[in-house]
Amino acid sequence: MSQFASQLRAFASKAEGTAGTAETLADADNNVRVWDLAVSSLEVPMDMDPSKYATGDFGLGEGIPGPTSASISFTTKFVNQGVEEPNWTKFAKGAGCETSSGVAGYTIYPDKYSAEDTLTLGIYDLERGSSPSGLHYEFVGCMGNCTVSTEGTGKPYMMAWEYTGGLNDIADMAEANIPVLTDVASGIADRFLNGSGTFGGVDLCISTMELNFGNAISPVQCVGTNSGYKNYGITAAVPQLTVNPVMSRNATYDVWSKFTTGAVEEIVITTEQFTLTVPRAQIVSMGVEDADGIFRTPLTFNCLRPTASGSYNFAPWTMLCKF
């Protein structure tokens, strides 16, 4: 009996033309390098668990399985593809974002009109051995959240994606029908160095950053679907940015005063391929921690709604992927 080997797993994804209607996935849809790919949960809730009726003893009865859903997680790295829109931006669009092309590159930004731009995701497991067979997990109507972060200076930006969708089926599939990885970005991903972080116009020394899109995802239940869920969508978003500036006597950036007075300011973090802009940010938490023998002040900011729509429909943050 052959076993499925974890290192033989493949992944494909495609934007859905109609939310909740599965797209057929082909080689062209397996076009992004992903790491840490996992099905973190398969949910089939029972109507009663345990199901206990009056049997006159401690015995249990059958539960009735309900709708089927799953959570899928993986990471990608922030990398540009020259003048082409990066393949990974389809995941951003499936997390409530739009993209806009300009003279400097592609800008990714959250937009209310993308709150139901769903994806079909396919995960494919393959047996090891000389005559392998495959297994296909089909997830439809998927929407997700992303956390962009760096572990330290010189480290790449990691984009951790978490999607929830209806699980249509887990079925056998011939190896020949599994989408083959193709047309992936081959450049070196951007690293957290040789850049800057300005807060209210003041350059601060930071070594990590984390931007959480803050999406809340919920399903649209529907009797006319295989899974019981038509699709998922975004019902709320609370984007937050966390950074760790060095604690210093800086007369032009008084952290405690800004925290206690509720100061609102612009934040711009930029490196070779990446620029994050938060037009209006406000500190919501502050700490003090030892890092390699010096003190840093971890700060978490809420990314607020701009006062004007600008070019990006009141987007609370934008990410520029430079050409």
Residues 314, 309: Cα–Cα separation, whole Å: 4
Res 251 pLDDT > 80: no
Q: What pLDDT score does 252 carry?
A: 84
In the chain, DSSP assigns E strands to 10-15, 35-43, 69-77, 97-101, 105-110, 119-126, 134-150, 158-173, 196-199, 202-203, 209-212, 215-221, 229-237, 240-243, 264-270, 274-286, 289-291, 294-296, 299-303, 318-322
pLDDT band at 250 (very low <50, low <70, confident <90, very high): confident
Q: Give the residue with greater pLDDT, 108 vs 130.
A: 108
What is the average per-residue pLDDT within 306-319? 97
- Residue 16 phi, psi (nearest 5): -90, 135
Res 305 pLDDT > 90: yes
Beta bridge partners of residue 300, listed in sequence order: 242, 285
Q: What pLDDT score does 1 carry?
A: 61
Burial category of 68 from C-beta neighbours within 10 Å (exposed 0-12, middle 13-18, buried 19 and up): buried
Beta bridge partners of residue 283, listed in sequence order: 301
CA dihedral for 35, 188, 98, 309, sign (positive or negative): positive
Res 131 pLDDT > 90: no
Q: Write the pLDDT tens digit of every residue in 33-56.
A: 999 999 988 999 999 999 999 999
What is the average per-residue pLDDT within 268-290? 97
What is the average per-residue pLDDT within 294-303? 97
Those residues whose C-beta lies under 8 Å from the C-beta of residue 58, and which sit 6 or more positions away, are: none
Q: What pLDDT score does 90 carry?
A: 98
CA dihedral for 204, 210, 213, 217, sign (positive or negative): negative
End-to-end CA distance of the chain: 50
pLDDT band at 70 (very low <50, low <70, confident <90, very high): very high
For the ranges 12-26, 152-166, 238-252, the lowest mean pLDDT is seen at: 238-252
